[in-house]
Amino acid sequence: MREYLKFYIDGQWVDPVSPKTAEVINPATEAVSGTISLGSAADVDKAVAAARKAFSSWSQTTRAQRLDLLGAIQAEYAKRQTELGDAIMEEMGAPSSLAHGFHVGLGAGHLQTAIEVLKDFQFDEARGATLIAKEPIGVCGLITPWNWPMNQTCVKIFPALATGNTMILKPPQLAPYSAHILAEILDAAGVPAGVFNMIQGSGSVIGTALSTHEDVDMISFTGSEPVGVQIQKDAATTIKRVGLELGGKSAFIVLDDPALADSVAGATGGMMGNSGQTCSAGSRLLVPHARMDEAIAAAKAAADAVTVGDPKGNAAMGPVVSKAQYNVIQDYIQKGLDEGATLIAGGLGRPDGLDKGWFVKPTVFVGTNDMVIAREEIFGPVLVIIGYDDVDHAVEIANDTNFGLAGYVNGQDLDQVRAVARRMRTGWISMNGGFDFHAPFGGYKRSGNGREWGDYGFHEYLEIKSLLGYA
């Protein structure tokens, strides 16, 4: 049983101003796995004051000093990767191989990327007699989700640190353990007092206090569209910068070529990874009408092959994060049935043999782009296959959405793949499985604004100053 009752403020583990606790539920067992404290606006005031005080000195540190600190964090992170994986497996139900693999690996990757970018990042640019300087924005409120705990946390913390900012982290209440361990890592690495602070609690309390605080200069939020809208409204009164990475309903276009079945199988299996709880998931699978039967067979076989079960075992897919999330997903599956979508795999209820835990069947529908299950983000292992007539039609369907976070194109003709990707109105597109830690990640339309990852992630935390007559 875990018990994390203190917050990390001004370099110390401290008690909340007003003690209040909440239980954390293991989604695989439905049993209580631990207890955390819930913070208040008073805790936020303390953390912001510490961050503001520390900013005056941390913002003036050299590139070498920041690189030294990131290197020390990297060493401490390496020591505790197993603990981080165990925590992720317990808090949000990721299977052991995924929790200890890609989940923890993403955090390590963002740390390494921050080090690589910082080594050569140009903070000053001379333009004739003018110097354009990029300076840290100040005190940052970082609000992160539960679905990829290390990825979403590390992609904010390390660029913010590298660019000379101070910060307050508000981790997800549903998945708080890995963030607590990360705070211990930063403390052990010697992060100066006040530079990094962490308060656990509910988004409606801590997130609102950060978003409205007059001494917070920026909010970086990853999560749902409705919460992102509210944060923008809350932050407007103090004109602070807001970076948002929100939802998605991303299209995966499979081109008409001999590799279609393999591409469909890979796309289906990929959709089920992390129990479908991925904002960039390719949840709309677009295939040629002329080869729909072949695509259905490949998708059904791939979905049926996904093993679901105890995260501590060898299952490929664990539970979804909570009872509430399970119920939302069940409602969407029922909507798909009610709308007349054709169910080819999965469906309502838990998989056979699982009577406890928030396990969902890997589910595949064949439907149309106007159905609710193709318009709204389900955030579960539910894939919708949609047929297209030709490439132009595929692009039209892909772009017919309120979102624009990610996209996927698979095909053997690389020129055609590139041409299709160019026409998709979305911020991050993987062609034939491409992946790059240095590629900017973020969305068009209702998927948010700003970019994370790589050097573009640095720009999120920088102000621009023009010094005229400098030379």
> Of 90, 91, 245, 377, which is the active-site residue?
245
With vertex at residue 249, the alpha carbon angle to CA 397 and CA 287, rounded to the nearest 5 degrees, is 45
Q: Give mean pLDDT, residues 188-194.
A: 98
* Position 467 confidence tier, pLDDT thresholds 50, 70, 90: very high
Dist. CA 215–CA 236, nearest whole Å: 13
- The full set of domain ranges for the chain reads 2-246+447-467, 251-437
Residue-wise pLDDT for 202-236, tens only, equals 999 999 999 999 999 999 999 999 999 999 999 99
Share of the chain above pLDDT 70, in %: 100
Q: What is the pLDDT of residue 133?
A: 98
Respond yes or no: is residue 76 known to be catalytic: no
Look up residue 58 and give its two tokens. Answer: 């941390």
Q: Give mean pLDDT, residues 5-15.
A: 98
Average pLDDT over the chain, rounded to an integer = 98
DSSP readout, 271-334? HHGGGG--TT---EEEEEGGGHHHHHHHHHHHHHT--B--TTTT-SB---S-HHHHHHHHHHHH
Residue-wise pLDDT for 154-166, tens only, equals 999 999 999 999 9
Dist. CA 229–CA 214, nearest whole Å: 19
Provide the CATH number for the domain formed by 251-437 in this structure. Answer: 3.40.309.10
Q: What is the pLDDT of residue 375?
A: 98
Residue-wise pLDDT for 80-119, tens only, equals 999 999 999 999 999 999 999 999 999 999 999 999 999 9
* Position 381 confidence tier, pLDDT thresholds 50, 70, 90: very high
Burial (0-12, 13-18, 19+ Cβ within 10 Å), 119: exposed
With vertex at residue 209, the alpha carbon angle to CA 207 and CA 211, rounded to the nearest 5 degrees, is 65
Provide the CATH number for the domain formed by 2-246+447-467 in this structure. Answer: 3.40.605.10
pTM greater than 0.85 (yes/no): yes
Residue-wise pLDDT for 158-187, tens only, equals 999 999 999 999 999 999 999 999 999 999
